[in-house]
Amino acid sequence: MPKAPSFTTNNVRSLDELRTWLAASREEILEPALPIVDPHHHLRETAHGRYLVPELADDLASGHNIRATVFVDSQTGHRRDGPAVTRPVGETEFVLQSLAAPAASRASAWNPCAGIVGNLDLTFGAAVREALEAHIAAAQGRFRGIRDPLMWDGSDINYGVRRPPPDRMNDPRFRAGFAELAPLRLTFDAWLFHAQLPLLTDLARSFPATTIILNHVGAPLGVGPYAGRRAEIFDEWRKSLAELARCPNVVVKVGGLGMLFFGFGFEHRDVPASSDELAAAWRPYVETCIDTFGHDRCMFESNFPVDKQSCSYATLWNAFKRIAAGCSATEKSALFFGTANRIYRLGLD
């Protein structure tokens, strides 16, 4: 059998190229009054371009009723010196500095980064307590949790510089650090791939007092050796998701579907996909999450600027609104606003 092609996330459009590409994807905003909390976006400046608060504000101004956002770990602004365990606190400091910059004033209308999910290496064990308290102090009331990425795959998929070992969730040092979250009312954002869901289920059962937010629907892969196996992978993912949902301390972020890992191929198109096309591709994953976890344990997310490789901010939220069109007003409120507001303790009315 020939070897499956490798996959890398390195060959993507720059943010400047995306700005031109996405200019052709103008759509009328659906349900413009529907309140939204965007519980997952990043701020970063990389070789692919800059996405800081001014660029975020451009997306927030697209016409949807964004009430607040949550910043999530971007590996940006870490301290260059001091104890290794506390160096990620520099990212929280960076976010606060970004919000205070004069160029960020236009974004204030949307309450950006009302919640902050930072990064720590939990394998430092109980020593992370000091770093957690430093994050909390630096965030000025905005700090809500940690994301210590877990994604691992045994294939040659290239998914960036962070490549944790496959047994990280079972590492006693990681679990000792994880145990420090609940006493401080902090959540854990779990970024992993679909084959790792059983490991997350075990972690959730071991720490029932810690709220775990599954990122990006649990990332059922569709590239590299997983390409052409969508039905098989979907079934495996669905079964693992159902077992995870038995843990009442787990909720799921419904999004990230614009990432290249899913293998939908929208990034290769000359003209960006419409929200109708996105909704058709994403619907099985979205509806499975909602059916499995319930509306009160699901929250739609943008995952920008990463998902910008597939669509614009306006088109992404239109796609979610199309998928949720049959939901009641109460169910829509939970999916777009209420679950994120509650889980991240944003205190919005």
Contact 168, 117 (CB under 8 A): no
- Indicate whether 195 belongs to any domain: yes
Tell me, what DSSP letter sits at residue 66?
E
CB atoms within 10 A of CB 32: 11
For residue 182, give every residue at least 6 positions away whose Cβ sits within 8 Å of its Cβ, in sequence order, or none: 207, 209, 210
113-122 pLDDT, tens digit each: 999 999 999 9
298-332 pLDDT, tens digit each: 999 999 999 999 999 999 999 999 999 999 999 99
Question: What pLDDT score was predicted for residue 329?
Answer: 98
Question: What pLDDT score was predicted for residue 25?
Answer: 85
Cis peptide bond N-terminal to 305, omega within 30: yes
Among 14, 4, 32, residue whose Cα is nearest residue 314 = 32
The domain of 87 spans 30-343
Query: Hunting for tokens 């910043």 — which residue is that?
Result: 71
DSSP SS3 for 31 = coil
Question: What pLDDT score was predicted for residue 253?
Answer: 98
Report the C-alpha gap between 103 and 269 in whole angstroms: 33
- Indicate whether 12 belongs to any domain: no
Q: Across the strands, what pairs with 28?
A: none
| Sequential DSSP letters for 155-204 | SS-B--S----TTGGG-HHHHHHHTTTGGGT-EEEE---GGGHHHHHHHH
Q: Residue 54: give its domain's CATH number.
A: 3.20.20.140
Question: What pLDDT score was predicted for residue 1?
Answer: 35
Question: What pLDDT score was predicted for residue 11?
Answer: 66
Question: What pLDDT score was predicted for residue 3?
Answer: 45
Domain total in the chain = 1
- Indicate whether 3 belongs to any domain: no
Strands, E assignment, the chain: 35-41, 44-46, 49-51, 65-72, 115-118, 143-146, 187-190, 212-214, 250-254, 298-300
- Indicate whether 2 belongs to any domain: no
Which residue positions in the chain have pLDDT lower than 70? 1-11, 159-162
Please report which residue ranges of 3-52 form alpha helices under DSSP H.
15-22
CB atoms within 10 A of CB 345: 12
- Indicate whether 310 belongs to any domain: yes
- Indicate whether 19 belongs to any domain: no
pTM across the whole model: 0.96
